[in-house]
């Protein structure tokens, strides 16, 4: 098929929607390290996970051998309301850059949650409903995950309790109102509704909260209410499994038009988008069927891959969750207050961490002013106002396309556009006013984070 026939947007038909998620771990020779019990440092067993997580999701978390896991029909029906998502050929951007590179992006922002998070939220809500639960609890920082989960719970008639970091609850009232419109109960964290919340409030009366604290409250709320479980929107292997729908659609669309990507680029915070986007491509790479250059893009202000260590670490600042082996900056690491976007998690998904350690993917750290420059350029020529997170991938895609302009190489670049920036206008305003700064942590900043990583035989010793 000639290149001229490739439309601006490739929309697969609903019958081409994946029928199974792809579990990349099944094709990995070096499996991601198992979750450990925070007290005993022994791999966690299913029965240790199920008091906190839904049973089916706990099984998915532990399953590193089954390559394809069927997507239940109820989830597929929900997916049909906003999927298959478009794979867009960035014709206008290519023309403006004057590059011989072909640029594609998989756009996950065409749903009310505004991001790819909904792909896993609906799966987690479904399995909770199927288990006969009354509801789920979770935490949210910026609010993307909380919004997605609220939508999913509304659809299945499940109670949804969101602990929202207090400073976000107050400064992002619109995100909060979207969740409320979908029927979620949104509580500013720390709150007096949990023991851990009351304890923190007593100790730090003026605190504006943190993700670590909100996680602790959500976990307590899940384990102390009959018929509730806790759910999480990133980092976990089950989340990457659900997000593989992004990569599967992308691969089907590219295959359909006979396009072979040279390079796949995605932003990486906890890793749910990048992991989902690259999964089936990495599968081909691991099976020796194809090769791709895969680039994880992270903020220079929170550089888990490029400056972190590969070790077992706490997943949360409250230290109530299992230990995960990951590239990490330490659970005490907090990016500078001037860091605008998400991608502020201290660690990276175990699956991606193992792939990075095996040199199967590479990583780049980019500074935020250059990220917003890319966002502005992209918005003006491609029409979509991107989320700051997604714009990290745009930055590197543009950089690579400009390299092709110099070398004359006709590379095919695919990147993940995870979502829209409609709820990130405070950050855009900062950029528009010329007030956006950059920040790169010093070695001393990093050391403080590393010092908080647990020491035990075989870890950080």
Computed on alpha carbons and rounded to an integer, the radius of gyration of the chain in Å comes to 21
- Residues interacting with its own copies, by CB under 8 A? 7-9, 11, 13-14, 77-78, 80-82, 88, 91-92, 110-112, 114, 151, 154-155, 173-174, 177-178, 180-183, 375-376, 379-385, 420, 422-423, 425, 428-429, 431-432
- C-beta closer to its own copies: residue 42 or 77: 77
- C-beta closer to its own copies: residue 10 or 315: 10
Burial 293-316 (b: 16+ CB within 10 A, else e): ebbbbbbbbbbbbebbbbbbbbbb
Least Cβ distance, residue 194 to its own copies (angstroms): 23
Least Cβ distance, residue 421 to its own copies (angstroms): 9
Contact 307, 321 (CB under 8 A): no
- C-beta closer to its own copies: residue 7 or 67: 7
Least Cβ distance, residue 213 to its own copies (angstroms): 25
Residue 355: which of 266, 432, 461 has the closest Cα? 266
**What span, in angstroms and rounded, lies between the C-alpha atoms of 371 and 107?**
18
Contact 21, 244 (CB under 8 A): yes
Helices (H), 258-387: 272-286, 304-307, 350-357, 368-382
- C-beta closer to its own copies: residue 105 or 292: 105
Least Cβ distance, residue 239 to its own copies (angstroms): 20
Residue 369: which of 425, 306, 300 has the closest Cα? 300
Would you list the DSSP string of 243-264? HHHHHHHHHHHHHHTT---SEE
Half-sphere exposure at residue 351, Cβ-oriented, CA atoms within 13 angstroms: 32
Least Cβ distance, residue 159 to its own copies (angstroms): 13
Residue 298: which of 335, 331, 254, 243 has the closest Cα? 335
Dihedral pair phi/psi, residue 346, rounded to 5°: -75, -20
205 burial type by CB count under 10 A (0-12 exposed, 13-18 middle, 19+ buried): exposed
Strand partners, 366: 299
- C-beta closer to its own copies: residue 93 or 320: 93
CA 221 to the chain's CA centroid: 24
Least Cβ distance, residue 148 to its own copies (angstroms): 10
- C-beta closer to its own copies: residue 154 or 167: 154
Least Cβ distance, residue 91 to its own copies (angstroms): 8
Least Cβ distance, residue 173 to its own copies (angstroms): 7
Residue appearing with tokens 């680039």: 295
- C-beta closer to its own copies: residue 367 or 376: 376
- C-beta closer to its own copies: residue 407 or 429: 429
- C-beta closer to its own copies: residue 434 or 458: 434
Least Cβ distance, residue 85 to its own copies (angstroms): 11
Helical (H) or strand (E) element with 95: helix 91-97
Least Cβ distance, residue 242 to its own copies (angstroms): 17
**What span, in angstroms and rounded, lies between the C-alpha atoms of 103 and 355?**
25
Helical (H) or strand (E) element with 193: none
**What span, in angstroms and rounded, lies between the C-alpha atoms of 372 and 433?**
12
Least Cβ distance, residue 402 to its own copies (angstroms): 20
The SS3 of residue 372 is helix
Contact 169, 188 (CB under 8 A): yes
State the sign of the Cα–Cα–Cα–Cα dihedral 385, 387, 393, 395: positive
Least Cβ distance, residue 308 to its own copies (angstroms): 32
């Amino acid at each position: 098929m000639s290149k001229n026939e490739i439309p601006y947007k490739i929309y697969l038909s609903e019958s081409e929607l994946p029928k199974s998620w792809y579990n990349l771990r099944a094709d990995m020779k070096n499996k991601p390290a198992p979750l450990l019990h925070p007290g005993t440092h022994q791999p966690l067993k299913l029965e240790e996970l199920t008091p906190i997580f839904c049973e089916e999701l706990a099984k998915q978390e532990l399953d590193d051998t089954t390559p394809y896991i069927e997507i239940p029909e109820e989830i597929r029906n929900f997916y049909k309301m906003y999927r298959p998502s478009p794979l867009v050929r960035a014709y206008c951007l290519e023309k403006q850059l004057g590059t011989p590179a072909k640029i594609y992006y998989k756009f996950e922002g065409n749903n009310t949650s505004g991001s790819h998070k909904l792909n896993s939220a609906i799966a987690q809500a479904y399995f909770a409903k199927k288990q006969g639960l009354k509801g789920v609890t979770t935490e949210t920082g910026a609010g993307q995950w909380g919004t997605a989960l609220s939508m999913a719970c509304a659809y299945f008639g499940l109670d949804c309790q969101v602990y929202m970091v207090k400073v976000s609850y107050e400064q992002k009232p619109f995100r909060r109102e979207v969740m409320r419109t979908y029927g979620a109960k949104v509580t500013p964290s720390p709150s007096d509704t949990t023991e851990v919340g009351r304890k923190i409030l007593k100790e730090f009366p003026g605190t504006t909260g943190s993700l670590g604290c909100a996680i602790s409250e959500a976990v307590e709320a899940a384990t102390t209410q009959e018929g509730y479980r806790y759910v999480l929107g990133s980092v976990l292997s089950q989340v990457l499994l659900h997000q593989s729908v992004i990569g599967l659609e992308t691969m089907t669309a590219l295959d359909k038009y006979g396009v072979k990507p040279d390079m796949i680029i995605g932003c990486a915070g906890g890793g749910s988008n990048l992991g989902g986007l690259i999964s089936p491509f990495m599968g081909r790479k691991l099976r020796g069927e194809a090769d791709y250059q895969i680039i994880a893009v992270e903020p220079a202000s929170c550089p888990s891959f490029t400056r972190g260590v590969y070790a077992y670490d706490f997943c949360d600042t409250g230290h109530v969750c299992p230990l995960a082996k990951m590239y990490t900056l330490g659970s005490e690491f907090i990016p500078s207050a001037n860091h605008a976007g998400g991608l502020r998690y201290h660690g990276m998904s175990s699956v991606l961490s193992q792939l990075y350690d095996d040199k199967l993917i590479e990583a780049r750290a980019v500074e935020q002013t250059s990220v917003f420059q890319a966002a502005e350029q992209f918005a003006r020529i491609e029409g979509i106002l991107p989320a700051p997170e997604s714009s990290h991938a745009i930055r590197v895609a543009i950089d690579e396309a400009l390299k092709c302009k110099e070398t004359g190489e006709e590379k095919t670049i695919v990147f993940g556009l995870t979502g829209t920036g409609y709820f990130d206008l405070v950050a855009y305003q900062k950029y528009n006013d010329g007030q956006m700064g950059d920040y790169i942590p010093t070695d001393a900043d990093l050391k403080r984070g590393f010092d908080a990583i647990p020491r035990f035989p075989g870890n950080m010793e």
